[in-house]
């Protein structure tokens, strides 16, 4: 792929970053003075980025060949001889796809938040962080080199931390924010090491420079880079083994869960792998690791999603699982990249829609998140129900909704890989699809159907609960205001149409072809693995209906099987981290402290005490009596003379 | 009389002086004993000069006398200061400068 210097409208592509950054700066520096209109400015800045993104997209469509990849040099960050760190903006089909997702879904969620956060006293700060996030995420996907990508990567991590802990007066939220931050740091170490390795091996970290040198660098370097980038992706995208933070991240306000922890930031890992496709294409071992991580996570997340009674956590398990699909697809090489991105974009629509629906439900039932206290809401929140339902159909992959096309593509690509690993991967994706159908149907039935359990038992309130709602009480569910329902409707339209639009006629594939390499031979929309998956999906829906539709949902969760209890405890992810990493770490710390205080300090202090004690005794010689001094001088002199005599004689 | 006798006399005077310094408490007497020791040395120097037949020892004796005079001036001044402060010339009383 060749890149040319930016021309025409792309010469001002820095505006994309500038709008949200300006919004965040005004809101954060302006302080309380901007309380009245701050949220409107934030929405406006996000929309401005989106409008520019649309212009860039259509301009890019009108270009051909090298014109489809335009690089703008913005700023020489560290211009030292032999070390050129620049901030550059690369507009190409892949980055523009992400720009449209981030600014489009981001703007919708900004608008939604105007309604959702209307009564929050800290609304301005919330919108400032949201704008900060948009700016950092755009820097991540628009960078033309790994170093400024890393800056954006850390920026979204910071925004994620700030927004998970937005209600920091709740200890759980503060702890969840810290946990997300620390788990992300582990992955970030991978990315920073990868960048250092690139610079050491290739002397550059520009995309073009690195990708051109990868082939010459040998497979060892490519494999190391691939594994380090995979570690980075695991941290940011909540993949096993760094998955544990995502479920706790649901402590943040629901729009944050929708934007950062479902639609955009958590997919940054997929972006990283697809963007680095020349590295992974040269490193089959790293690709295998990527597919394994994806396959494990897609089952891991799906199993967790089956047991959670917390509406948002069930959706968070689902997010992990769906990103597992994308990572798996990205690990399949050129055959899978397009489906990874297609599923990512479609997932951005339907999962954001589902989360916004969840937020709307929570709005209706006084911030309750426990689905066992919901039920029968479909008549009370009809618009939310309709949009949530369309998102549901999209995620389980019923044709002709989005998920069918994109997930089917992934299953098909895994199947086409061939060999034993292809079989296993395809089996994982198909089983994952069935489990997805089960847990999403469970969520649907528990939330929208059945008896109105909130009228019998009342609700308690959960994440972000208003202080007044800590006692059980009967809520009066109502449909949310227009600012919330309109974004949900638009996202629902995306959930319905995006997948088909992107996959049919290979639109996305042709568009992304310059970035992701040779096109993949077409298998058609229907394939045998896809049909098997569809049958299992229907089966999953049936099982869920038998368990939660036909029989009443208990207000208190039954004890459940071993697997259910394990899934409720996040498959012991936290317990694993605690016993394998935290406790040995604590022991190591204690051992070091012991060695330091007893060993090192003991030696030094003991030496000092010995010298102190000896001199304490020695100083008694200084008794102040002149005559005793005279005596010692005399004795000394006599001894000297005697000594001299002995030596002489 | 051979010069060796003067050396023996010097040794006897030196020992008397040294014992005086060690056993006496009165600072004046200690001073006098110190002077005795110095003059014992002078005697020895002069005797050795005579024995070796050169003037080195005699020159040193003159130096010692000059230095002893200066020492007496400083020493007596200190003694006066101590006596004024403590109303005592005993060196055992002036034992504050210690551990």
pLDDT for B16-49, tens place per residue? 999 999 999 999 999 999 999 999 999 999 999 9
- Position A522 scores a pLDDT of 62
Determine whether the interchain pair B98/A622 forms a contact, defined as Cβ–Cβ distance below 8 Å.
Answer: yes
How many structural domains compose chain B? 1
| Separation in Å, CA A12 to CA A21, A70, A85, A136 | 15, 12, 20, 18
3-state DSSP assignment of residue A177: helix
Q: Between A and B, how many CB-CB pairs are < 8 A?
A: 32
Closest residue on chain A to B97 (Cα):
A624
By percentage, how much of chain A surpasses pLDDT 70?
97
- Position A574 scores a pLDDT of 87
Residue among A624, A631, A634 minimizing CB distance to B97 = A624
Does B21 lie at the interface with A, CB-CB under 8 angstroms? yes
Beta strands in A252-377 (DSSP E): none
Show residues of chain B in contact with A631, CB under 8 Å: 22
Residue among A620, A625, A630 minimizing CB distance to B95 = A625
Determine whether the interchain pair A627/B21 forms a contact, defined as Cβ–Cβ distance below 8 Å.
Answer: yes
Q: Confidence class of residue B94 from pLDDT cuts 50, 70 and 90? A: confident
**Sign of the torsion angle spanned by Cα atoms A195, A333, A321, A499:** positive
Q: Which residue in A627, A636, A637 has the most chain B C-beta atoms within 10 A of its own C-beta, making it the best mutation to test that interface?
A: A627
Show residues of chain A in contact with B86, CB under 8 Å: none
CA atoms of A385 and A468, how far apart (whole Å): 27
CA atoms of A4 and A69, how far apart (whole Å): 6
The answer to whether residue A469 scores a pLDDT higher than 60 is: no
- The answer to whether position B96 is within a domain reads no
DSSP code per residue over A121-172: TTHHHHHHHHHHHHHHHHHHHHBSBHHHHHHHHHHHHHHHHHHHTTTTTSHH
The C-alpha of A610 sits at a distance from chain B's nearest C-alpha, in angstroms, of 19
CA atoms of A316 and A180, how far apart (whole Å): 14
Show residues of chain B in contact with A622, CB under 8 Å: 98-99
Strand partners, A89: A72, A143
Query: What is the enclosing helix (H) or strand (E) of A79?
Result: strand A70-80
The rounded mean pLDDT for chain B is: 91
The C-alpha of B79 sits at a distance from chain A's nearest C-alpha, in angstroms, of 13
Nearest to A115 by CA among A314, A384, A350: A384
Closest residue on chain A to B98 (Cα):
A624
Determine whether the interchain pair B99/A630 forms a contact, defined as Cβ–Cβ distance below 8 Å.
Answer: no
The rounded mean pLDDT for chain A is: 90
CA atoms of B53 and B48, how far apart (whole Å): 8
- The answer to whether position B63 is within a domain reads yes
The answer to whether residue A466 scores a pLDDT higher than 70 is: no
- The answer to whether position B94 is within a domain reads no
CA atoms of A280 and A344, how far apart (whole Å): 19
Q: Which residue in A616, A621, A630 has the most chain B C-beta atoms within 10 A of its own C-beta, making it the best mutation to test that interface?
A: A630
Strand partners, B26: B90
The answer to whether residue A467 scores a pLDDT higher than 60 is: no
Q: Which residues of A384-411 are buried (b: 16+ CB within 10 A; e: fewer)?
A: bbbbbbbbbbbbbbbeebbbbbbbbbbb
The C-alpha of A609 sits at a distance from chain B's nearest C-alpha, in angstroms, of 19
ipTM of the complex: 0.88
Based on C-alpha coordinates, what's the Rg of chain A? 31
CATH number at residue B71: 1.10.287.3510
The C-alpha of B88 sits at a distance from chain A's nearest C-alpha, in angstroms, of 15
The secondary structure of residue B90, as a DSSP letter, is B
The answer to whether residue A177 scores a pLDDT higher than 90 is: yes
Question: Dihedral of the CA atoms A594, A596, A599, A604 (nearest 10)?
Answer: -140
CA atoms of A107 and A133, how far apart (whole Å): 12
Determine whether the interchain pair B22/A634 forms a contact, defined as Cβ–Cβ distance below 8 Å.
Answer: yes
Closest residue on chain A to B14 (Cα):
A634
When pLDDT is averaged across residues A478-505 and rounded to a whole number, the result is: 90
- The answer to whether position B91 is within a domain reads no
**Sign of the torsion angle spanned by Cα atoms A636, A640, A645, B2:** negative
Q: What is the pLDDT of residues A244-293, one digit of tens each?
A: 899 999 988 999 999 999 999 999 999 999 999 999 998 999 999 999 99
Determine whether the interchain pair A630/B92 forms a contact, defined as Cβ–Cβ distance below 8 Å.
Answer: no
- Asked whether A278 and A214 are in contact (CB, 8 A), the reply is yes
Q: Which residues contact A121 (CB under 8 A, 6 or more apart)?
A: none
- The answer to whether position B92 is within a domain reads no
The C-alpha of B39 sits at a distance from chain A's nearest C-alpha, in angstroms, of 17
Strand partners, A76: A86
Sheet with A4-5, strands from edge to edge, namely: A4-5, A70-80, A83-91
Closest residue on chain A to B93 (Cα):
A625
Nearest to A260 by CA among A242, A274, A246, A239: A246
Show residues of chain A in contact with B94, CB under 8 Å: 624, 626
- Asked whether B70 and B51 are in contact (CB, 8 A), the reply is no
Q: What are phi and psi of A71, to 5 degrees?
A: -115, 130
Which residues of A touch chain B, with CB atoms under 8 Å apart?
A: 619-620, 622-627, 630-631, 634
- Position A500 scores a pLDDT of 87
Show residues of chain A in contact with B95, CB under 8 Å: 623-626
Q: What is the pLDDT of residues A420-451, one digit of tens each?
A: 888 999 999 999 999 999 999 999 999 999 88
- Asked whether A363 and A484 are in contact (CB, 8 A), the reply is yes
Residue among B22, B95, B96 minimizing CB distance to A630 = B22
Nearest to A402 by CA among A416, A388, A392: A392
| Separation in Å, CA A72 to CA A95, A123, A145, A195, A327 | 13, 35, 12, 21, 29
- The answer to whether position B45 is within a domain reads yes
Closest residue on chain A to B22 (Cα):
A627
Closest residue on chain A to B21 (Cα):
A627
Residue among B18, B30, B95 minimizing CB distance to A624 = B95
Determine whether the interchain pair A631/B22 forms a contact, defined as Cβ–Cβ distance below 8 Å.
Answer: yes
CA atoms of A345 and B30, how far apart (whole Å): 107
- The answer to whether position B18 is within a domain reads yes
Q: Which residue in A619, A626, A634, A637 has the most chain B C-beta atoms within 10 A of its own C-beta, making it the best mutation to test that interface?
A: A626
How far from the centroid of its chain's Cα atoms is residue A473's Cα? 35
Q: What is the pLDDT of residues A509-566, one digit of tens each?
A: 888 888 887 666 666 677 888 889 999 999 999 999 999 888 888 877 888 888 888 8
Does B97 lie at the interface with A, CB-CB under 8 angstroms? yes
Question: Dihedral of the CA atoms B24, B28, B30, B35 (nearest 10)?
Answer: -150
| Separation in Å, CA A198 to CA A66, B15, B56 | 25, 89, 85
Show residues of chain B in contact with A617, CB under 8 Å: none
Question: Dihedral of the CA atoms A393, A269, A515, A89 (nearest 10)?
Answer: 120
CA atoms of A187 and A233, how far apart (whole Å): 7
Determine whether the interchain pair B95/A622 forms a contact, defined as Cβ–Cβ distance below 8 Å.
Answer: no
CA atoms of A216 and A422, how far apart (whole Å): 29
The answer to whether residue A149 scores a pLDDT higher than 60 is: yes
Residue among B18, B96, B99 minimizing CB distance to A619 = B99
Range of the domain at B28: 3-86
- The answer to whether position B93 is within a domain reads no
Determine whether the interchain pair B99/A627 forms a contact, defined as Cβ–Cβ distance below 8 Å.
Answer: no
């Amino acid at each position: 792929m060749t890149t040319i210097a930016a021309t025409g409208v792309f010469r001002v592509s820095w505006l994309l970053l500038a709008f949200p950054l300006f919004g965040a700066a005004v809101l954060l520096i302006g302080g309380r003075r901007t309380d009245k209109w701050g949220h409107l400015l934030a929405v406006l800045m996000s929309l401005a980025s989106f409008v520019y993104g649309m212009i860039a997209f259509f301009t890019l469509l009108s270009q051909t060949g090298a014109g489809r990849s335009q690089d703008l040099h913005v700023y020489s960050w560290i211009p030292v001889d032999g070390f050129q760190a620049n901030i550059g903006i690369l507009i190409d089909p892949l980055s523009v796809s992400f720009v449209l997702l981030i600014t489009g879904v981001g703007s919708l969620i900004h608008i939604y938040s105007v309604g959702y956060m209307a009564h929050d006293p800290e609304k301005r700060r919330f919108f400032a962080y949201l704008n900060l996030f948009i700016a950092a995420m755009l820097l991540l996907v628009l960078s033309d080199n790994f170093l400024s990508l890393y800056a954006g990567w850390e920026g979204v991590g910071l925004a994620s931390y700030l927004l998970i802990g937005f209600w920091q007066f709740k200890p759980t939220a503060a702890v969840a924010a810290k946990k997300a931050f620390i788990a992300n740091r582990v992955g970030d170490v991978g990315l920073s090491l990868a960048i250092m390795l690139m610079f050491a091996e290739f002397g550059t970290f520009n995309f073009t420079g690195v990708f051109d040198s990868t082939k010459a660098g040998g497979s060892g370097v490519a494999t190391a880079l691939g594994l380090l980038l995979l570690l980075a992706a695991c941290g940011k995208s909540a993949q096993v083994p760094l998955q544990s933070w995502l479920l706790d991240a649901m402590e943040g306000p629901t729009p944050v869960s929708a934007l950062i922890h479902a639609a955009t930031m958590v997919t940054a890992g997929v972006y990283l792998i697809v963007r680095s496709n020349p590295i992974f294409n040269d490193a089959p071992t790293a690709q295998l690791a990527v597919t394994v991580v994806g396959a494990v996570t897609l089952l891991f997340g799906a199993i967790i999603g089956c047991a959670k009674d917390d509406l948002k956590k069930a959706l968070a398990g689902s997010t992990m699982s769906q990103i597992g699909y994308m990572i798996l697809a990205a690990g399949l090489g050129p055959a899978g990249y397009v489906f990874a991105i297609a599923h990512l974009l479609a997932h951005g629509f339907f999962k954001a829609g589902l989360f916004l629906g969840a937020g709307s439900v929570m709005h209706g039932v006084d911030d309750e998140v426990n689905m066992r206290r919901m039920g029968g809401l479909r008549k009370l929140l009809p618009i939310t129900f309709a949009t949530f339902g369309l998102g549901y159909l999209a995620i389980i992959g019923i044709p002709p909704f989005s998920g069918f096309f994109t997930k089917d593509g992934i299953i098909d690509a895994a199947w086409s890989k061939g060999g034993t690993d292809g079989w296993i991967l395809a089996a994982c994706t198909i089983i994952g699809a069935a489990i997805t159908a089960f847990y999403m149907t469970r969520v649907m039935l528990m939330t929208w159907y059945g008896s109105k359990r909130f009228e019998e038992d009342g609700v308690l309130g959960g994440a972000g609960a208003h202080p007044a709602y800590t006692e059980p009480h009967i809520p009066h569910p109502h449909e949310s205001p227009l600012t919330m329902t309109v974004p949900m409707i638009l996202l629902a339209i995306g959930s319905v149409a995006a997948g088909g639009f992107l996959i049919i006629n290979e639109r996305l594939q042709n568009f992304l072809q310059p970035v992701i390499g040779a096109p993949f031979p077409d298998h058609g929309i229907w394939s045998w693995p896809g049909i098997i998956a569809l049958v299992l999906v229907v089966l999953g829906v049936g099982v869920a209906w038998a368990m939660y539709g036909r029989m009443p949902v208990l207000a208190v969760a039954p004890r459940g099987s071993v697997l259910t209890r394990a899934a409720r405890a996040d498959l012991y992810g936290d317990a694993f981290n605690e016993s394998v990493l935290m406790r040995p770490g604590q022991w190591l710390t204690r051992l070091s402290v012991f060695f330091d205080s007893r060993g090192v300090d003991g030696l030094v202090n003991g030496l000092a005490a010995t010298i102190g004690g000896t001199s304490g005794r020695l100083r008694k010689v200084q008794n102040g009596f002149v005559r005793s001094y005279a005596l010692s001088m005399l004795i000394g002199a006599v001894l000297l003379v005697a000594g001299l005599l002995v030596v002489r004689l | 009389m051979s010069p060796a006798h003067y050396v023996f006399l010097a040794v006897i005077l030196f020992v008397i002086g040294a014992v005086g310094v060690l056993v006496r408490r009165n600072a004046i007497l200690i001073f006098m004993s110190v002077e005795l020791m110095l003059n014992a040395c002078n005697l020895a120097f002069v005797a050795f000069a005579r024995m070796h037949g050169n003037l080195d020892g005699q020159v040193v004796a003159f130096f010692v006398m000059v230095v002893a005079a200066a020492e007496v001036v400083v020493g007596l001044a200190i003694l006066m200061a101590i006596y004024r402060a403590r109303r005592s010339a005993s060196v055992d009383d002036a034992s504050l400068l210690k551990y």
